[in-house]
Amino acid sequence: MQLSMKKLRVILSFALLIEARSITQKIIKFSGLLLKPVPAFLKSAHAWIPASAGVLTTHAVSGATTAVKSPQGNSISVKAGENLTYQFYTSRYTAYSYSISNLPNGLSYDGSNTISGIISETGTYDIQIIGYRGESQNGSYTPTFTLEIIVIKDDENNEFDSEKIIDSYFSASTDLGNNWYQVWMGIFYMPTNGNWIYHSHLGWLYAHPTELDTFWFYDEALGWLYTSKTFNRYFYRNNTRGWLYQLDSSSNNRFWDYNKGDEIQ
Protein backbone atom coordinates (compact mmCIF):
# COMPACT_ATOMS: atom_id res chain seq x y z
CA MET A 1 0.00 0.00 0.00
CA GLN A 2 1.45 3.27 -1.00
CA LEU A 3 1.81 6.02 1.59
CA SER A 4 0.04 9.24 0.93
CA MET A 5 2.20 12.29 0.31
CA LYS A 6 0.97 13.85 3.56
CA LYS A 7 1.95 10.82 5.68
CA LEU A 8 5.34 10.63 3.98
CA ARG A 9 6.08 14.26 4.89
CA VAL A 10 5.17 13.58 8.53
CA ILE A 11 7.49 10.55 8.73
CA LEU A 12 10.42 12.43 7.15
CA SER A 13 9.97 15.42 9.46
CA PHE A 14 9.95 13.17 12.52
CA ALA A 15 13.15 11.39 11.39
CA LEU A 16 14.95 14.68 10.79
CA LEU A 17 13.92 15.92 14.26
CA ILE A 18 15.40 12.83 15.91
CA GLU A 19 18.68 13.16 13.97
CA ALA A 20 18.96 16.86 14.79
CA ARG A 21 18.58 16.15 18.52
CA SER A 22 21.33 13.49 18.25
CA ILE A 23 23.75 15.89 16.48
CA THR A 24 22.99 18.65 18.99
CA GLN A 25 24.00 16.39 21.87
CA LYS A 26 27.32 15.59 20.14
CA ILE A 27 28.02 19.29 19.55
CA ILE A 28 27.29 20.12 23.19
CA LYS A 29 29.59 17.30 24.36
CA PHE A 30 32.44 18.45 22.05
CA SER A 31 32.02 22.09 23.11
CA GLY A 32 32.42 21.01 26.72
CA LEU A 33 35.81 19.50 25.90
CA LEU A 34 36.97 22.73 24.28
CA LEU A 35 35.99 24.74 27.35
CA LYS A 36 37.93 22.55 29.79
CA PRO A 37 41.09 24.11 31.35
CA VAL A 38 44.38 23.58 29.46
CA PRO A 39 46.63 21.12 31.34
CA ALA A 40 49.60 22.72 33.11
CA PHE A 41 52.18 20.81 31.08
CA LEU A 42 50.82 22.30 27.85
CA LYS A 43 50.87 25.81 29.29
CA SER A 44 54.57 25.40 30.04
CA ALA A 45 55.26 24.70 26.36
CA HIS A 46 54.36 28.23 25.26
CA ALA A 47 57.99 29.33 24.96
CA TRP A 48 59.45 29.73 21.48
CA ILE A 49 55.94 30.33 20.06
CA PRO A 50 55.12 33.81 18.72
CA ALA A 51 51.67 35.17 19.50
CA SER A 52 50.57 34.61 15.90
CA ALA A 53 51.98 31.09 15.56
CA GLY A 54 49.66 28.14 15.22
CA VAL A 55 52.27 25.38 15.52
CA LEU A 56 53.49 24.19 18.92
CA THR A 57 57.28 24.10 19.27
CA THR A 58 58.82 22.93 22.55
CA HIS A 59 62.30 22.95 24.02
CA ALA A 60 65.02 20.37 23.64
CA VAL A 61 63.45 17.76 25.93
CA SER A 62 60.59 17.16 23.50
CA GLY A 63 62.42 17.67 20.23
CA ALA A 64 62.88 21.37 19.46
CA THR A 65 63.14 22.66 15.93
CA THR A 66 64.92 25.77 17.24
CA ALA A 67 68.69 25.28 17.36
CA VAL A 68 71.94 27.23 17.59
CA LYS A 69 73.72 27.47 14.24
CA SER A 70 76.63 29.29 12.63
CA PRO A 71 77.70 29.91 9.04
CA GLN A 72 81.20 28.96 10.24
CA GLY A 73 80.11 25.47 11.23
CA ASN A 74 80.75 23.79 14.58
CA SER A 75 84.45 23.04 14.17
CA ILE A 76 87.10 25.62 13.29
CA SER A 77 90.90 25.65 13.22
CA VAL A 78 93.08 28.64 14.09
CA LYS A 79 96.73 29.27 14.78
CA ALA A 80 97.97 30.05 18.27
CA GLY A 81 98.03 33.82 18.67
CA GLU A 82 95.67 34.41 15.73
CA ASN A 83 92.59 36.63 16.07
CA LEU A 84 89.38 34.61 16.17
CA THR A 85 85.83 35.87 15.60
CA TYR A 86 82.96 33.38 15.74
CA GLN A 87 79.31 34.33 15.28
CA PHE A 88 76.18 32.25 15.85
CA TYR A 89 72.40 32.55 15.79
CA THR A 90 69.25 30.49 16.35
CA SER A 91 67.21 29.11 13.48
CA ARG A 92 63.40 29.27 13.37
CA TYR A 93 62.91 31.44 16.48
CA THR A 94 65.19 34.09 18.00
CA ALA A 95 67.02 33.51 21.26
CA TYR A 96 67.07 36.57 23.52
CA SER A 97 69.91 35.29 25.71
CA TYR A 98 72.63 32.64 25.64
CA SER A 99 74.72 30.69 28.09
CA ILE A 100 78.34 30.12 27.06
CA SER A 101 80.46 27.64 28.99
CA ASN A 102 84.06 26.38 28.81
CA LEU A 103 85.49 29.47 27.14
CA PRO A 104 89.31 29.08 27.04
CA ASN A 105 91.64 31.82 28.24
CA GLY A 106 91.85 34.61 25.71
CA LEU A 107 88.30 34.35 24.36
CA SER A 108 85.32 36.43 25.48
CA TYR A 109 81.59 36.57 24.75
CA ASP A 110 80.09 39.93 23.80
CA GLY A 111 76.68 39.21 25.38
CA SER A 112 75.01 39.07 21.98
CA ASN A 113 76.05 36.51 19.38
CA THR A 114 79.83 36.74 19.00
CA ILE A 115 82.81 35.02 20.58
CA SER A 116 86.19 36.61 19.86
CA GLY A 117 89.76 36.89 21.07
CA ILE A 118 93.10 35.13 20.84
CA ILE A 119 94.06 31.69 22.16
CA SER A 120 97.77 31.37 22.81
CA GLU A 121 97.88 27.71 23.88
CA THR A 122 97.58 24.92 21.30
CA GLY A 123 95.01 22.20 21.81
CA THR A 124 91.36 21.36 21.23
CA TYR A 125 88.67 23.31 23.09
CA ASP A 126 84.96 22.48 23.28
CA ILE A 127 82.63 25.40 24.00
CA GLN A 128 78.95 24.79 24.84
CA ILE A 129 76.32 27.29 23.65
CA ILE A 130 72.63 27.23 24.65
CA GLY A 131 70.04 29.73 23.43
CA TYR A 132 67.12 30.82 25.63
CA ARG A 133 63.77 32.20 24.54
CA GLY A 134 63.73 34.75 27.38
CA GLU A 135 66.22 37.27 28.66
CA SER A 136 68.67 36.39 31.47
CA GLN A 137 68.67 32.71 30.39
CA ASN A 138 64.98 32.18 31.17
CA GLY A 139 62.30 30.20 29.35
CA SER A 140 62.64 27.30 26.98
CA TYR A 141 66.04 26.53 25.57
CA THR A 142 67.74 24.93 22.57
CA PRO A 143 69.74 21.73 22.51
CA THR A 144 73.37 22.28 23.53
CA PHE A 145 75.52 23.38 20.59
CA THR A 146 79.19 22.38 20.89
CA LEU A 147 81.79 24.49 19.12
CA GLU A 148 85.12 22.74 18.64
CA ILE A 149 88.12 25.03 18.30
CA ILE A 150 91.38 23.43 17.21
CA VAL A 151 94.39 25.63 17.95
CA ILE A 152 97.52 24.65 16.06
CA LYS A 153 101.09 25.87 16.34
CA ASP A 154 101.90 28.91 14.24
CA ASP A 155 104.24 27.88 11.44
CA GLU A 156 106.42 30.91 10.77
CA ASN A 157 107.62 29.39 7.52
CA ASN A 158 104.09 29.29 6.06
CA GLU A 159 103.86 32.99 5.28
CA PHE A 160 102.20 34.68 2.35
CA ASP A 161 104.55 34.99 -0.60
CA SER A 162 103.61 38.03 -2.68
CA GLU A 163 105.63 36.69 -5.60
CA LYS A 164 103.32 33.73 -6.15
CA ILE A 165 100.49 33.89 -8.68
CA ILE A 166 97.10 34.14 -6.94
CA ASP A 167 95.91 30.98 -8.69
CA SER A 168 98.50 28.97 -6.75
CA TYR A 169 96.66 29.73 -3.49
CA PHE A 170 93.64 27.76 -4.62
CA SER A 171 94.07 24.06 -3.87
CA ALA A 172 92.30 23.11 -7.09
CA SER A 173 91.45 25.05 -10.24
CA THR A 174 90.45 24.40 -13.82
CA ASP A 175 92.17 26.47 -16.51
CA LEU A 176 89.46 27.79 -18.83
CA GLY A 177 91.92 29.62 -21.05
CA ASN A 178 92.95 33.27 -21.41
CA ASN A 179 93.65 33.59 -17.66
CA TRP A 180 90.12 32.46 -16.67
CA TYR A 181 89.89 29.80 -13.95
CA GLN A 182 87.14 27.76 -12.29
CA VAL A 183 87.74 27.42 -8.51
CA TRP A 184 85.58 26.72 -5.43
CA MET A 185 84.52 30.39 -5.31
CA GLY A 186 83.35 30.47 -8.91
CA ILE A 187 84.92 31.70 -12.13
CA PHE A 188 87.81 34.18 -11.92
CA TYR A 189 89.92 36.15 -14.34
CA MET A 190 93.43 36.10 -12.80
CA PRO A 191 96.24 38.06 -14.45
CA THR A 192 99.72 36.56 -14.30
CA ASN A 193 100.85 39.37 -11.99
CA GLY A 194 99.26 41.64 -9.41
CA ASN A 195 96.55 40.99 -6.86
CA TRP A 196 93.49 42.41 -8.62
CA ILE A 197 91.30 39.59 -9.90
CA TYR A 198 87.85 39.62 -11.49
CA HIS A 199 85.00 37.34 -10.29
CA SER A 200 82.29 36.64 -12.87
CA HIS A 201 79.53 37.75 -10.45
CA LEU A 202 81.25 39.66 -7.63
CA GLY A 203 83.39 41.89 -9.88
CA TRP A 204 86.89 43.21 -9.16
CA LEU A 205 88.50 42.12 -5.88
CA TYR A 206 91.94 42.72 -4.43
CA ALA A 207 93.12 39.32 -3.18
CA HIS A 208 95.42 38.86 -0.20
CA PRO A 209 95.93 35.14 0.53
CA THR A 210 96.91 34.25 4.09
CA GLU A 211 97.32 30.54 3.40
CA LEU A 212 96.04 27.91 1.00
CA ASP A 213 92.34 28.47 0.16
CA THR A 214 92.11 31.33 2.70
CA PHE A 215 91.78 34.97 1.63
CA TRP A 216 91.13 38.54 2.57
CA PHE A 217 89.45 40.23 -0.41
CA TYR A 218 89.16 44.00 -0.70
CA ASP A 219 85.98 45.18 -2.37
CA GLU A 220 85.73 48.90 -3.20
CA ALA A 221 82.11 49.08 -2.01
CA LEU A 222 82.20 46.75 1.00
CA GLY A 223 85.77 46.93 2.28
CA TRP A 224 87.73 43.90 3.48
CA LEU A 225 85.99 40.50 3.25
CA TYR A 226 87.34 37.29 4.73
CA THR A 227 86.55 33.82 3.44
CA SER A 228 88.04 30.38 2.90
CA LYS A 229 87.21 27.10 1.21
CA THR A 230 85.72 25.96 4.52
CA PHE A 231 83.35 28.95 4.63
CA ASN A 232 82.94 28.81 0.85
CA ARG A 233 80.00 31.14 0.08
CA TYR A 234 80.12 32.94 3.45
CA PHE A 235 82.17 36.12 3.90
CA TYR A 236 83.04 37.97 7.09
CA ARG A 237 82.79 41.73 6.49
CA ASN A 238 85.31 43.59 8.60
CA ASN A 239 83.58 47.02 8.47
CA THR A 240 80.31 45.84 10.01
CA ARG A 241 81.65 42.77 11.85
CA GLY A 242 78.87 40.78 10.21
CA TRP A 243 78.45 37.94 7.76
CA LEU A 244 77.50 37.98 4.09
CA TYR A 245 76.34 35.14 1.86
CA GLN A 246 77.34 35.07 -1.81
CA LEU A 247 74.33 35.10 -4.15
CA ASP A 248 74.15 33.72 -7.66
CA SER A 249 70.39 34.01 -8.18
CA SER A 250 70.29 37.82 -8.30
CA SER A 251 71.55 39.78 -11.30
CA ASN A 252 71.69 43.07 -9.35
CA ASN A 253 72.73 42.08 -5.81
CA ARG A 254 75.84 40.14 -4.88
CA PHE A 255 75.31 39.21 -1.22
CA TRP A 256 72.76 38.51 1.46
CA ASP A 257 73.64 40.67 4.50
CA TYR A 258 72.76 38.90 7.79
CA ASN A 259 72.98 42.17 9.76
CA LYS A 260 70.47 43.93 7.50
CA GLY A 261 68.42 40.84 6.70
CA ASP A 262 68.39 41.84 3.04
CA GLU A 263 70.26 41.59 -0.24
CA ILE A 264 72.99 44.13 -0.99
CA GLN A 265 74.97 45.07 -4.10
Instruction: Determine the pLDDT at residue 13.
Output: 56
pLDDT at 158: 45
CB 183 within 8 A of CB 173: yes
Supply the pLDDT for residue 24: 43
Whether 132 and 114 have beta carbons less than 8 Å apart is answered as no
Distance CA 21, CA 167 (A): 83
Q: Which domains does the chain have, with CATH numbers?
A: 60-152 (2.60.40.10), 166-264 (no CATH)
Residue 207 · residue 166 · CB < 8 Å: yes
Task: Output the pTM of the full model.
Answer: 0.41
Alpha carbons 93 and 98: distance in angstroms, whole number: 13
DSSP state of 72: T
pLDDT in tens, the chain (265 residues): 445 555 556 555 555 555 444 444 443 343 343 333 333 333 333 333 333 333 333 344 334 478 999 988 888 888 888 899 999 999 888 999 999 999 999 999 999 999 999 998 888 899 999 999 999 999 999 999 999 888 877 654 444 555 567 888 888 888 898 889 999 888 889 887 778 999 888 889 998 888 888 899 998 888 899 999 888 889 998 888 889 998 877 667 788 888 888 888 7
How much is the pLDDT for 86?
Answer: 94
Q: 92 and 57 in contact (C-beta within 8 Å)? A: yes
pLDDT at residue 243, as a whole number = 92
Residue 130's pLDDT is what?
A: 96
* Strand-pair partners of 180: 177, 189
Amino acid at 8: L
Bridge partner residues of 175 (DSSP): 181
Cα–Cα dist 129/135, whole Å: 15
Asked if residues 135 and 96 have their Cβ atoms less than 8 Å apart, the reply is yes
Q: In what order do the strands lie in the sheet with 75-79?
A: 75-79, 145-152, 123-132, 97-101
Q: For the chain, state the CA radius of gyration.
A: 30
